[in-house]
Amino acid sequence: NAGVTQTPKFQVLKTGQSMTLQCAQDMNHNSMYWYRQDPGMGLRLIYYSASEGTTDKGEVPNGYNVSRLNKREFSLRLESAAPSQTSVYFCANGVANEQFFGPGTRLTVL
Amino acid sequence: AQSVTQLGSHVSVSEGALVLLRCNYSSSVPPYLFWYVQYPNQGLQLLLKYTSAATLVKGINDFEAEFKKSETSFHLTKPSAHMSDAAEYFCAVSPVNDYKLSFGAGTTVTVRA
């Protein structure tokens, strides 16, 4: 079992470009999350999905959109990338009070 | 709103020495508390969690943490550091009735031979 997979691993964008970060899980958990990690700030929640068909904003949702395509997949979209969105993005899934993290996507916006 | 403060962004210890990482939380009611570890270029892995059972929690790789309500603390310890413990450690908190995590800023541990 792969657990939580994320694609791509690395991405470089120019300001204004759009892209979608993909996340998939094979753990059959209802909840899924997107975080960004920036030096000295820990991880901050962008969006989450408590179950298939629902999504909610987290702490830092501006500039992002999400889609919970089905129980397995939860994608994060940047419509018009900005340098401030340079970060490492982590997807996680959860059951009860435990979350399981993917390996991350390192995004650079020039 | 709940928040987490990790004291010390960097900790350096000698191999075999005690590892102590400090975490304090702010919450009106005792929350659930977690410690995660992140090795270089990897995702986060759960070390241990407190969910209102025993106040002394044991985790993987000989780490343990003690929940102290009076001090609003959840410090992480390991009696004897190993070179493989070099990583970044995050303390996190979630309300009992809500599974969203709030993370501290992280503490990077280096282990000296």
The 3-class SS string of A47-63 reads EEECCCCCCEECCCCCC
Residues paired with B3 in a beta bridge:
B26
The reply to whether residue A42 touches residue B105, judged by beta carbons under 8 angstroms, is: yes
**Which residues make beta-bridge pairs with B35?**
B48, B91
CA distance A90 to A3: 13
d(CA B26, CA B2): 6
**From the list A59, A97, A102, which residue is nearest B43 (CB)?**
A102
Flag if B32 and A97 touch (Cβ within 8 Å): yes
pLDDT, average across residues A13-28: 96
Is the confidence at residue B28, as pLDDT, over 90?
no
Burial of B46 (0-12, 13-18, 19+ CB in 10 A): middle
Share of chain B above pLDDT 90, in %: 75
Distance CA B87, CA B58 (A): 19
Tell me if B43 and A104 make a contact (CB, 8 A cut-off).
yes
pLDDT score, position A81: 96
Please check the confidence at residue B1 and state whether its pLDDT lies above 70. Answer: no
Task: Tell me the average pLDDT across A11-31.
Answer: 95
How many Å lie between the alpha carbon of B66 and the closest alpha carbon of chain A? 18
Alpha-carbon distance B106 to nearest alpha carbon in chain A (angstroms): 6
Rounded distance, CA A21 to CA B106, Å?
A: 25
Taking CA atoms, what residue in B is nearest to A43? Answer: B103
Q: How many whole angstroms separate alpha carbon B113 and alpha carbon B111?
A: 7
Rounded Cα distance between A78 and A66, Å, is 9
A42 in Cβ contact with B107 (< 8 Å): no
Token readout for B24 is 């304090």
| pLDDT number for residue B30 | 78
**Which residue does chain A place closest to B41, by CA atoms?**
A103
The confidence score (pLDDT) of residue B85 equals: 97
Which one, of A88, A98, A96, lies nearest residue A11 by Cα? A88
pLDDT of res. A101 = 94
Restricting to B residues 8-47, those with a Cβ less than 8 Å away from any Cβ of A are 9, 32, 36, 41-46
Asked if A42's CB is within 8 angstroms of B104's CB, the reply is yes
Question: A100-109 in b/e burial notation, b at 16+ Cβ within 10 A?
Answer: bbbbbbbbeb
State the pLDDT at residue A1: 62
Nearest-angstrom CA–CA distance, B35 and A95: 17
> Which residues, 6 or more positions from B49, have their beta carbon under 8 angstroms from its beta carbon?
A97, A98, B32, B33, B34, B35, B57, B59
How many Cβ pairs within 8 Å bridge chains A and B?
Answer: 51
Find the angle CA(A21)-CA(A8)-CA(A24) to the nearest 5 degrees: 60
Q: How confident is the model at residue B98, as a pLDDT? A: 78
| pLDDT range class, residue B77, cuts 50, 70, 90 | very high
pLDDT score at A96: 72
